[in-house]
Amino acid sequence: MREILYLEIPTQDTACVRNWLQKDFKPGNGEKVLTPEGFRLGIPAGTTNASEAIPEKLPSELSVFIWSVQRTTYLKVFRWADQPFPGEGQILQRLTTEIRSRFPHHYPEPPAIDLSQQSIFAALSSVYPLTVKYFQKMPNGEYDLKRAYWWEQRWREGVRNPQEPRQVVFSQSAGKRAAEAGEDEKITSPSSPTYDIIYIGGALGVIHAAVMAKLGYRVLLLERMPFGRMNREWNISRDEIQSLVNLGLVTTAELETIIAREYKDGFNKFFDANNPSKLRSPVLHTPTVLNLGLDSDKLLRMCGQKLQAAGGEISDETEFIRADIDKSQVIVKVKHLPSQTEKQVSGRLLVDAMGSASPIAWQLNGGRAFDSVCPTVGAVIEGGFEPGVWDSQYGDVLYSHGDISRGRQLIWELFPGADEELTVYLFHYHEVNPENPGSLLEMYEDFFTILPEYRRCDMDKLVWKKPTFGYIPGHFSIDSSDRTVAFDRLIAIGDAASLQSPLVFTGFGSLVRNLERLTTLLDTALKHDLLSFRHLNQIRAYQSNVSVTWLFSKGMMVPTGKFLPPQRINSMLNTFFGLLVDEPPEVADNFIKDRCDWLTFNRLALKAARKNPALLLWIWQLAGPRDLLRWLGNYFNFGRHALVSALLSAWFPRFLNWINPWLEPRYPALWLRLLTINYAIASGKPRSRHQVAKVTPEIIQKSEARILN
């Protein structure tokens, strides 16, 4: 018996597919015999000599059947005999063509709703019944479902209007501003800015804001939600979270209080039942990747308290409306949501930490704000799993339990938290497309349907703590300047700056790993009033070794409207992760943590090509010539950066330390540029002992003394 066809049919209505196969599909040859899940196709009696047909006495027939998993229908065709069935090629071609025509890709949209007329639960119950059912079981479920709906609508708006994004940042003189704003939007210009820095976005924003406040800056944090709540949990490794201690933001003892769980090992495994044996990979163990589960709410509150203790202010439930920028300040117009009152605040610098929903990021980058996105949904579950379903000493870093599902390769993550808590995510890598922006609500319906397929459970016995969701964006950078992260007196950080790694890290991981870099550079810019676009746009967490791996992300995306062999993406993942299994543990650790050097990258790429030569063709089919040319630019830039780093890294940091006292006071702009180069040289590597102008706890203590005096 031999498998001769395997198709993904992008519909959850398996009964409809079965009915079509059995009643409507005409194979054009052979005799159909219906079976419970499809049909058998045989040669009518009398048309062949049975004694001559099949030497091994197997029936000369095809078996066509379907099944359902991941809210998706799949079809396979098996041939019993070694010899092709009469007209086999034409039959398979007809079946594929007609089934693609009858069941094409469909990208549903959330319905337009009016929440003044009905609740979010009533509005969505007919379309997303399981999503409504389980959000109703969560504390604050109605608020959180509104938030998920709002975020999806905001994301869709940005994707579909990239060439003319909503303008929210204005640069003009104070005199023009009042005239252009109109009577209702008249903006007055304070004589001097009230704050040094205004942050918009209280999740990643508060971490950076607290560090800058401890340096002595007057800081205001604006947050649309009630402060201290977020729709994601955070995982990271111990060596990376140590940067919060190194910067003096938290003490070692405080750090331990925000670690909800430190597990022993993390697993990486991709479904391989439909892969050839050479492309099946064992479990990759990554014990030091994302192995700390943080109490994110506690971390936010702690950072908020430290921000306020250093003189900073927090204004939550406050929505950003617009920013007006002139030579001396930025004036931000906001609305307090509970009272619906509007006001304006002024500062020297505005920091955009609004994430992928940021209208500022869309405006600054026009038609190419983001190239990719990971729509991500999940939940924190307090209990309800049967004993033995999961050991809380272990996590799933990356896991798939099936092939391509309705045009997406779904991937799970599972991280233990405090006590019996488990945080479970479901996501997929997605190419940004106006026809198919990517849906959180569709993903949630998948999540609540197929969670028992992933981890054995009774959904109605689970105790739901809160949902976790968001859009995690990615940008395929060619070099360090092809994405705009700044404007005059404005800079983006975190997901708004598209600081996302190809595999497992979101804006949180990228921000924490680059926190010292961003803080030192921004402190230098503020001290010397280097707040124009040309200076601020240098301050970014770009890494050439990360930019070259965006092709890896591309290989996990199904292009909108296209069909791939269902097992294709799992085959690619198993190829590469199988190589990492054979490497020393530090190689996988460095690769996933964005520390892969040029030699290791090339060695692994060559090994992958030798192990699976078809990989090159698959990448060509997924990326196409345009993106491959873009990637070649990345690759040559990566090589150039590696060469420059090798030439400079041994002496350049010492040289900067030597010239710092003389150069910085006289030529601050040049000093900022040299600092930027120094961090670029060291990016993606373990920190050396030669740190240039590092923000240390001693500097922070001096700044605190300055505040008190």
**Residue 671: per-residue pLDDT:** 96
| pLDDT reading at 687 higher than 80 | no
Min mean pLDDT across 114-128, 284-298, 318-332, 487-501 is at: 487-501
Residue 202: closest CA among 293, 296, 343, 310: 296
pLDDT per residue over 599-648, tens digit each? 998 999 899 989 999 988 888 888 888 888 888 888 888 888 889 888 99
Do 545 and 559 touch, CB atoms closer than 8 A? no
Go through the domains of the chain in sequence order and give each one's CATH number.
2-102 (3.30.310.50)
3-class SS of residue 487: strand
Residue range 208-237: mean pLDDT, rounded: 90
Min mean pLDDT across 4-18, 304-318, 527-541, 678-692 is at: 678-692
**Residue 635: per-residue pLDDT:** 85
Min mean pLDDT across 157-171, 180-194, 498-512, 610-624 is at: 180-194
**Residue 706: per-residue pLDDT:** 36
| pLDDT reading at 515 higher than 50 | yes
Strands (E) across 274-359 are located at: 284-285, 292-294, 313-315, 318-325, 330-336, 341-352
- In sequence order, the 6+-apart residues with CB closer than 8 A to the CB of 454 are 399, 401, 412, 424
**Residue 689: per-residue pLDDT:** 33
Residue range 213-223: mean pLDDT, rounded: 96
pLDDT per residue over 655-677, tens digit each? 999 999 999 999 999 999 999 99
Min mean pLDDT across 35-39, 176-180, 431-435 is at: 176-180
pLDDT grade for 540, boundaries at 50, 70 and 90 = confident
Min mean pLDDT across 188-197, 300-309, 312-321, 503-512 is at: 503-512
pLDDT grade for 478, boundaries at 50, 70 and 90 = low
Choice between 58 and 114, residue whose per-residue pLDDT is larger = 114
pLDDT per residue over 422-440, tens digit each? 999 999 999 888 899 999 9
Residue 391: closest CA among 267, 234, 237, 257: 267
Average pLDDT of the chain? 86
Which runs of consecutive H residues, i.e. helices, occur in 231-323? Answer: 238-246, 252-257, 296-309
Min mean pLDDT across 227-236, 363-372, 377-386, 551-560 is at: 363-372
Q: What is the largest CA-CA distance in the chain?
A: 104
Bridge partners of 372, per DSSP, are 431, 474
**Residue 166: per-residue pLDDT:** 80
| pLDDT reading at 268 higher than 80 | yes
| pLDDT reading at 707 higher than 50 | no
Do 390 and 412 touch, CB atoms closer than 8 A? no
**DSSP designation for 44:** P
**Residue 452: per-residue pLDDT:** 96
pLDDT grade for 700, boundaries at 50, 70 and 90 = very low
What distance in Å separates the CA atoms of residue 94 and residue 462, rounded to the nearest whole number?
46
Sign for the pseudo-dihedral over CA of 269, 271, 273, 275: negative
What distance in Å separates the CA atoms of residue 108 and residue 646, rounded to the nearest whole number?
51
Choice between 514 and 21, residue whose per-residue pLDDT is larger = 21
Strands (E) across 402-454 are located at: 411-416, 422-427, 430-431
**Residue 542: per-residue pLDDT:** 64
pTM of the model: 0.86
| pLDDT reading at 553 higher than 50 | yes
**Residue 162: per-residue pLDDT:** 67
Residue 303: closest CA among 576, 511, 95: 511
| pLDDT reading at 366 higher than 80 | no
What is the DSSP pairing of strand 422-427 with strand 411-416? antiparallel
Do 237 and 291 touch, CB atoms closer than 8 A? yes
**Residue 146: per-residue pLDDT:** 95
| pLDDT reading at 694 higher than 50 | no
| pLDDT reading at 229 higher than 80 | no
Kindly report the three-state secondary structure assignment for every residue of 209-227.
HHHHHHCCCCEEEECCCCC
pLDDT per residue over 399-414, tens digit each? 999 999 999 999 999 9
**Residue 702: per-residue pLDDT:** 42
3-class SS of residue 85: coil
**Residue 50: per-residue pLDDT:** 46
What distance in Å separates the CA atoms of residue 207 and residue 468, rounded to the nearest whole number?
20
**Residue 90: per-residue pLDDT:** 95
**Residue 244: per-residue pLDDT:** 92
Residue 461 φ then ψ, to 5° = -95, -10
pLDDT grade for 197, boundaries at 50, 70 and 90 = very high
**DSSP designation for 502:** S
Min mean pLDDT across 179-188, 265-274, 284-293, 362-371 is at: 179-188
Residue range 232-252: mean pLDDT, rounded: 89
Min mean pLDDT across 294-308, 517-531, 613-627 is at: 613-627
